[in-house]
Structure 1
Amino acid sequence: MRSGEQCAAGALIGVFILGVSVTSDKALAAQEDESQTLETVTVTGAPLPGNPLLQAADVDVVESNEMEAKGAINIGEALESQAGVDSISTGNSVGKPVIRGLSGERIKMLNNGIGVDHQQYGVRHMPTTDTFLLDRVEVVRGASSVLYGSSALGGAVNMLSSEIAWDTPVRGETLTRYSSNNGQWDTGIKATGGNGRLGYSLGLIRRDGGNIQTPDETTHFPPPPSQDLQDAPAYTGELDDTDFNQVNGELALGFRDDGGGTWTARYSRFNDEHNFLLPPPAGQLPPSAGAEGVGQYIDNQQLELSGEKRVDGITWKPKLVWQNNRRRSNAGGRPRTAGFDGTIDVEFDQYTARLEGQHGPFAGLDGGTVGIEYTHKDQESRGTTQLSPGGTVDNMAAFAFEEKRFGDLLLQAGLRYDHHQIEGKASKTANPSQNVTDAERHSYDVVTGSLGGIYTLTDNLSLAANAGRGFRAPSLFELYVAGKHGGVAAFQQGSPDLDPETSFNTDLSLRWASSTARASATVYRNVIDDYIFPRDTGERRSGSPVFAYDQTDAILRGVELSIEKDVTSRLTLSAAAETVNGERRDNGDDLPLLPADNMRVGARFAPQGAGWARNPYTSLTVRRYASKDAAPGEPFSQFDDAPFGTASTDGYTLVDLGAGIAPRIGEQVLHLDLAVHNLFDEDYRGFLDTYKGYALSPGRDIRLTARLDFGA
């Protein structure tokens, strides 16, 4: 971090500490008169229902209303305002969560508590769940393998569908949103209801986005080479081939039995077509012919059968889930409007059976959760080019997560055993590489555990500590990939001898929660053995660099700070900062895809509304990102050596505005929200923006959202 940015970070930390100090004095003085209501909910990463602030693990909950008011279009964008959470972006269609510097295969994506797969080996492969169809999203920082097994060694994101309103005939919402930057229209409707015994929930949304716009700046790509313009992007202004179209929906039917049990069948589908802008000359034409894109097509279906039934003091929660995911991609230079050309076609069916029981006091413990889980994945690669091959993945697991209170100290501990098998199969691969033809079955037996505690220092102040062991088995892609991957503009090569990653994560948090202030300060350390990473071999194949998967030991260290203070009943101030350092332990090289150090300050003013102008608010947020150098072998790091563009990025500051009102129209409420991103049309490259090597990040975007409630 540059000296100026270090000073700014120090200043923000100082403000944070001062804020906590001032808040503490006021809160302690008012403790005797103040009763704080803490909501009890079932949250991800906890053995029993409770308030997220009172769990050993760091858990954040982001509600649907918050996501829609800010105009969030994807999961990554919806969560990136949380301290320690960032997003890998590609235009408006892609937003992949990054938690404490880890992403992709190291973050477990869950849908209603069940792990889902979106072929996340690709940096640009987005989660296949729509934000509009969710009730809330829960984010767990740190190893969560005890509950969710492989891939949860960095954290978990649980996307929770809209709940059924069992005792209301109909309740719902319509949504219309326009985003000015890419001329995007979002139109959706969702509803729920029931008669006490039978219930339903449904939702449908269409998103249609055009090309994104960036500030008009000097562009360059050879010939002729120019030292003065070498860092200039190849494309600015309107970025061709960055459009997308989605139609996503969900339908749930539920039944309540006479014994208080609930049983639900839920079907969802995510259907997407998009283009990605390619770097020159990655398509079929010379750079002088202009920009080229690649068309991709994603279809994800999911059927979930779930129940909840209390029997003899134990609440049983059985779940059966089928997921079908198909990802198709054209050859470079063939956009989606040209139709699918058969180049890459990877499809899998994944079946998960999970039974968990939530119990009360037992054997001296206060309660917890025990469970078993089995997952089978069957994948086929039918394209003319093998990228990820066909094969099978099986995982069997048993786990227990318990808690015990000793006065002001609450301890939470868990233990899990996984038996994991993975095998690449030439019979399921249309054009198998030699590695796949010679593939043998890999089997891993792994035990993971966690131990955490939270100590209540005062009614408002608590100290939490957590230690967890996580693991991640190598994927079919990492073991056997063999082909040019347009998503990273490189030829990727697997390694069939990879071992599973294992991690030991520790964190320590100081938390403050009162009726007028929320604050936390966290330090963490995550040691990962056999960390899997793409290594730049220095070779080139068909004009592209060759990245081969390799392993080494790694370590990540970081700090997260956040504070939110209600200065008055109408004015709330907030601040947050994060820094994460990750490096290989053998040579000290940075790990790939770490977010740049960043901080934000914000203010929200909600004056008293009068007449039809109900619940008015305005907000201002200023975000500062430090400069960041690309790590060796990082996806897109090759653009630091290209005759145009860059993979390393300079520091920049963005300003966002928000405003809204909620007038009543008859018996219904109309929510009008305005969100302005990049108010000053800043010329910048986001470090986690995958277009950074050859284009600028999006310019000003004005999003206007109208949501109309209907029903009871």
Structure 2
Amino acid sequence: MNSISLAGRAFIALFPLIFTQNLRAQNRRDTTNDKPRDTTALHEIVVKGHRQSSALTTATTNTLSGATLLQTRGATLGETLKSIPGLNSIQTGPSISKPVIHGLHSNRVLILNNGVRQEGQQWGSEHAPEIDPFTAQQITIIKGAASIRYGADALAGVVLLEPPALPTDKPLGGELNLVAASNGRMGATSGMLEGAPGGALEGLKWRAQGTLKRAGNFKTANYYLDNTALFEGDFSGTAAYERKRYGITVYYSQFNNKLGIFSGSHVGNETDLYTAFARAKPITPDVFSYGINRSYQQVYHDLLKLSAWYRFKNTSSLEFIFGRQKDLRKEYDVDLPYNPDPALAQLPQLSFQIKTHTADLIYHQPGNKKIDGMIGFSGSTQGNVFRGIRYLVPNFRNYSGGLFAIEKYHLNKLTLEAGLRYDYRWLRVYRRDDISLQVYDNTHTYNNITGTAGASWQISEALSLNANIGTAWRAPSVNELYIKGIHLSAASYELGDSSFHSERSVNSTLSLQYHTQKLHAQLDLYDNEINGFIYAKPALRTIQLVQGTFPLFIYTQENVRIRGLDAEISYALPAHLTWTGKASLVRAFNKTIHDYLVFMPADRYDNTLKYTQPRLKNAYISLQYLLVARQNRVPPNSDYVPPPPGYHLFNTGIGCALPLGKRLLDLNFSIDNLANKAYRDYLNRFRYYADDLGRNFILRTKMSF
């Protein structure tokens, strides 16, 4: 609590310095000016039960949309979500990150991209989701076990990326987003065109979208990070035909990027490795460049979605979703393989190609004032082909299927919800014997039943309470079972264990919300018991190979308990000022060793003061103070490098929307790490070698037409 007091005192001290000229007596505020600016922003962050009747209404949910989402354009998905209490991002350098919900990430957090479960090599922290955030108009976070509706693996929660609804009454429209950032000299542009012809083609809708993004070497407060440039090119297209009783949609997207891996993470021998760990500044070239040299990773991801729905006369409906994904990832080491053929010498050291087919059939029950729900089936098949000069994970094939049902009962201000699901998974792995070189296979089968029960109580017009308890499970992934080798993008050597059994979780959440015209407060409490928790544990020794020396991580399975709270409070002060405070605390205990669990987020406190000018649309000025404490809750001698010191950052932003004829131009300028603070974040794997990012000036524009 001392940290919270420190953050509060810092902002109290800053009030007269920054906002003195704007403070003025105001005894009466008209309804129009009092409501939309800060209160609307809160609605964009916290939404409960906003989707359809079959959504998990008793789960804790948060939503990013509108102006709040605009202020994150150009960032990765993991960075985009960090403004929500309880969410962090786990990173491997400046350009690879993925969302963390209540301390859990990767295969424990499901990502649904336009209604399709995102599949790729999400093994560990060094494989970012293959998603273009520009395609989403709204991002919804479901915290807690959500396996009933969305399938196995949702131990921590679900991230739903939802595109804007297709137009119904305009022949042509669209938007253009432009982003420029000083750090990395990054530039991004994303454009979208859409229309509904009408007339003889009534019911036909379409959309086309594309994104280009490029950045050079990123910079810390004091030096450039060599070989951290990136290039990304994405596009997507949608066509739909809808009538009153039925509809069909076809969606295709392609994601392509090339990411450099920080050259300071590749070390020749053990002495140099530990010297690099202890060095305050890496000895890599301190220069800016857009060039991407070895080592780097190159990713191609294709997604095809076919969906259809039919509404019956009794208002019930049937929905079908089919998805096909192909994810190709190539990883190139810093050293060229020896081969007399120059073409073969340029091949990647590692190459994975995963093809996934998914199908969902969902029946939504007829609308009823008291009872509604859904039943459904989901199935998938997936195959991986590994090619490369080095071995890492074997080829595999898996099949899975699940049946589920969710029912809700509404009684005045009380909603009760319950669900049940059964899942089965079959996995066959094809391996080559190290000595005989003969190919053989191992088969694993997993099945489990999960359930959820919850209640939502609207205690008063301003006060509501949500409570939910759910079970979830997750079968071990292939890398946890069989990985053996150098993980280039993580700069580590990893070993799996084929004897692992499934993880089993019991997750309880409690959310209390209070909302009035001037005050919004939300407190979320959670308790997640996970038996058989699998993670890559630092072995505290190195592996020396011809390619270099790497820290060793061995996958292990233990019983853990993760508890914590997310808190948010926002209060409308006089003179169009709003103060928002957020706090996220995670306590993770390893019950097997009777000590703390490594690689959990540190305590995080966020205070923001925002001034809005009602005479200009969406006009605001904000100052944020972010305090991240040192992570002291780790076992002694449990990592190659102890947790870094805590840090505090100042971020600021200004924005407005200007009318240009019939069009609207949204402008947003922000400065991250205003004081150019040198720091290292505990959830960044490359904290072993270098600092995190320094000051960054970012300009974002959005033109709608």
Structure 1 stretches of 5 or more lacking a match?
13-29, 217-236, 641-646
Q: Do structure 1's residue 407 and structure 2's residue 412 form an aligned pair?
A: yes
Q: Could you say which residue in structure 1 is the equivalent of 2:21?
A: none
Tell me what 2:156 maps to: 154
In 1: Cα distance, 2:92 partner to 2:248 partner: 38
Instruction: Provide the rounded CA distance (Å) in 1 between the counterparts of 2:48 and 2:463.
Output: 21
- Residue aligning to 2:402: 397
> Residue 698 of structure 1 corresponds to which residue in structure 2?
693
Deviation at 1:339, TM superposition (A): 9.5
Check the 8 A contact 1:67/1:131 in 2, yes or no. no
* TM alignment of 1:113-262, pairs within 5 A: 113-194=115-196, 195=198, 196-216=202-222, 237-257=223-243, 259-262=244-247
| Alpha carbons of structure 1 residues 629 and 241: separation in structure 2 relative to 1, 3 Å | farther
- Mapped to 1, the partners of 2:491 and 2:353 lie a distance apart of 22
Residues 309 and 705 from structure 1, CA distance in 2 versus in 1: closer, same or farther, beyond 3 angstroms?
same
Task: Specify the alignment match of 2:427 in structure 1.
Answer: 422
Within 2, Cα distance between the matches of 1:528 and 1:270?
34
Where 1:425 maps in the other structure, the secondary structure is: strand
Q: TM-score, normalised by structure 1?
A: 0.85
1:263-662 correspondence runs (5 A): 263-279=248-264, 281-282=266-267, 290=284, 294-311=295-312, 312-332=314-334, 341-360=347-366, 366-426=371-431, 437=439, 439-542=441-544, 543-568=549-574, 570-609=576-615, 614-629=617-632, 631=634, 638-640=639-641, 647-662=642-657
Shifted more, 523-532 versus 113-122: the winner is 113-122
Q: Which residue of 2 aligns with 1:671?
A: 666
Which string of whole-angstrom CA distances, capped at 9 and with x for unpartnered residues, describes residues 496-530 of structure 1? Answer: 11101010001111111234332211211100011
Q: Is the 8 A contact 1:294 1:334 kept in 2?
A: no
Instruction: State the distance in 2 between where 1:457 and 1:289 align.
Output: 60
Mark the CA change 1:78 to 1:545 in structure 2 (over 3 Å): closer, same or farther.
closer
What's the CA shift for 1:204? 0.5
CA distances 1:233-257 after superposition (whole Å, capped 9, x unpaired): xxxx011111000001110011113
1:71 positional shift: 3.7
- Superposed CA offset, 1:444-482 (max 9, x none): 110001001011211110111110001111011111101
| Shift, 1:176, TM fit | 1.4
User: Within 2, Cα distance between the matches of 1:130 and 1:496?
Assistant: 34
Superposed CA offset, 1:178-221 (max 9, x none): 100110010120122212411011110100011111122xxxxx
- For residue 98 of structure 1, what is the aligned residue in structure 2? 100
Corresponding residue number in structure 2 for 1:49? 52
SS at match of 1:151: coil
1:387-438, CA deviations, whole angstroms, 9 ceiling, x for partnerless residues? 2321012110000111102332211111100011112123xx8x97999955
Aligned to 1:5: 3
Q: 1:474 to 1:446 in 2, by over 3 A?
A: same
**Shift of residue 535 of structure 1?**
3.1
Please give the per-residue CA displacement for 1:318-339, whole angstroms capped at 9, x wherever unaligned.
100000001110113579xx99
Between the aligned partners of 1:598 and 1:143, the Cα distance in structure 2 is: 23
Partner Cα separation in structure 1 for residue 54 and residue 607 of structure 2 = 26
Q: What TM-score, normalized to structure 2? A: 0.86
Which amino acid is the alignment partner of residue 234 of structure 2? N
Q: Which stretch of structure 1 is more off in the superposition, 139-148 or 57-66?
A: 57-66
**Which range moves more in the overlay, 113-122 or 536-545?**
536-545
1:265-286, Cα deviation, whole Å (9 max, x unpaired): 0000110001010445536998
How far does residue 386 in structure 1 lie from its aligned partner after superposition? 2.0
- The question of whether the paired residues in 1 share the 8 Å contact of 2:538 and 2:640 is answered with no
Letter in 2 for 1:571: L
Quick one: which of 678, 681, 684 aligns to 2:676?
681
Distance 1:111 1:45 in 2: 20
| Residues 51 and 609 of structure 1, relative CA distance in 2, 3 Å threshold | farther
Q: Percent identity, aligned pairs only?
A: 26
User: Which residue identity does 2:225 align to in structure 1?
Assistant: L
1:222 corresponding residue in structure 2: none
SS at match of 2:631: coil
Q: Secondary structure at the match of 1:680?
A: coil
Higher mean alpha-carbon deviation, 582-591 vs 416-425, is at 582-591
Secondary structure at the counterpart of residue 685 of structure 2? coil
What residue identity is the alignment partner of 2:176? T
Are the aligned partners of 1:423 and 1:476 in contact in 2 as well (CA < 8 Å)? no
User: Judging changes above 3 Å, is the alpha-carbon distance between structure 1 residues 450 and 505 closer, same or farther for their aligned structure 2 residues?
Assistant: same
1 CA distance for matches of 2:598 and 2:626?
A: 23
Q: 1:506 to 1:275 in 2, by over 3 A?
A: same
Q: Is the 2:264–2:283 contact (alpha carbons within 8 Å) kept by the matching residues of 1?
A: no
Structure 1 residue 262: Cα displacement: 2.0
Q: Which amino acid aligns with 2:215?
A: G
SS at match of 2:501: coil
Worse overlay, 621-630 or 262-271:
621-630
Q: Could you say if the C-alpha distance between residues 47 and 567 of structure 1 is closer, same or farther in structure 2, counting changes exceeding 3 Å?
A: closer
- Rounded to whole Å, the distance in 2 between the matches of 1:355 and 1:528 is 30
The 3 A distance-change label for structure 1 pair 386 and 319 is same
SS of residue in 2 equivalent to 1:121 = coil
- C-alpha distance in structure 2 between counterparts of 1:472 and 1:458, whole Å: 38
Residue 633 and residue 51 in structure 1: after superposition, are their counterparts in 2 closer, same or farther (change >3 A)? farther
Structure 1 residues 389 and 45, CA gap change in structure 2 (3 angstroms): farther
- More displaced, 434-443 or 102-111? 434-443
Contact between 1:547 and 1:633, CA under 8 Å: does it hold in 2?
A: no
Contact 2:226 2:264 in 1 (8 A): no
